[in-house]
Chain A
Amino acid sequence: MSMSIASEHRGEPAIALVTLAGELDASNFEALIGTIQSCYAGGAIGCVIDLGGLTFMASSGLVALYAAERIFRGEAAPDLEAGWQVFHDMGGESGHVTNVRLVDTQDAVQRVLDRTGMSRLFATDPSVDAAMAAIRGG
């Protein structure tokens, strides 16, 4: 197994904390989307994704992050067979998403976010508490 996924709900109303460790690639990004769907279905109002233990992220990981944003906007999970159509289906809003936030990105992962312009979409916080507070305050 190249990646572990742990999830829990914190506070009331609950915010999901999803903690990843290992390498996120085309073999496991669908499992991450499944976890995020479960968190939303379980009543979480937002999602903090802790990437501190993630040492590699492929472009398929970006699809999973997009899916998270979409799921937490209350939309159906994207059709993975449509691949990058996920991007096309998103609205025309600009700026960071408000209820999905990233924490503690390592250099290799941050580089992927920066090179693909995704860091303009997802805010990164220095700690889980800061991310939770930003979602509740947002």
Chain B
Amino acid sequence: MASTPTRRTLRIPSETGHLAEVRSFVREATGAFGATPGVTADLVQAVDEAVCNVILHGRGPKPGRAGSDEIELSAELREGRVEIRILDRAAAFDPTSAAGPDLSMSPRERRPGGMGIHLMRSGTDALHHRPRPDGGNELLLVRRADGATEEG
């Protein structure tokens, strides 16, 4: 599989000041994988929201609690799909099970929360979460590079 683009990785401290680096990483990787501009924009948005969630969630409510010090990202192209994996050491948290906003309601009347989750879902074909056996979370974001809708 010599034609398969190289798997790319990025490791950042768990701080919002590094989100721009995350977006650059996603833009460059998806560009190298031949993703359409629309797919790239959607994945940049979705990954930014996902990593932001990890950073904010990893801070935790209790002072002194061990948070997620570092976040690892990897990007791969597999069978026409861009797969972006986010690994952290934060407390177990499954964003895919969180409720999204009720978009049928006026923005003024909605229950709070869920906008980031909604942007993650709307920008991807699939989101998979699993707790890491040795602590932390693995979140996989998948999107077809050509932007076609997944079937089945």
> CB within 8 Å of B: which residues of A?
2, 23, 25-27, 56, 58-60, 62, 83-88, 90-94, 107-108, 111-112, 115-118, 120-121
Contacts and interface: CB of A to CB of B under 8 A. Distances in A.
Contact of A25 (B16, B109, B110): B16
A23 B23 contact: yes
Contact of B108 (A56, A59, A84, A92): A92
B125 to A, nearest CB: 16
21 contacts: A25-B16, A25-B20, A26-B55, A27-B17, A59-B49, A59-B116, A60-B52, A83-B112, A83-B113, A84-B112, A87-B108, A87-B111, A87-B112, A88-B111, A90-B107, A92-B109, A93-B108, A108-B41, A115-B119, A116-B103, A121-B108
B142 to A, nearest CB: 19
A121 B49 CA distance: 22
Given A26-B16, A26-B56, A27-B17, A117 B112 contact: no
A84 to B, nearest CB: 4
B149 interface: no
Contact of B110 (A59, A87, A111): A87
A27 B107 contact: no
For chain B, which range describes its interface: under 10, 10 to 19, 20 to 34, or 35 or more residues? Answer: 20 to 34
B3 interface: no
Interface of B: 16-17, 19-20, 23, 41, 44-45, 48-49, 52, 55-56, 101, 103, 106-116, 118-119, 122
A56 B44 contact: yes
A112 B107 CA distance: 14
B120 to A, nearest CB: 9
For the complex of A and B, 3 pairs with smallest distance between CB atoms: A84-B112, A27-B16, A59-B115
B67 to A, nearest CB: 15
B101 A116 contact: yes
B108 A94 contact: yes
Nearest to A57: B45
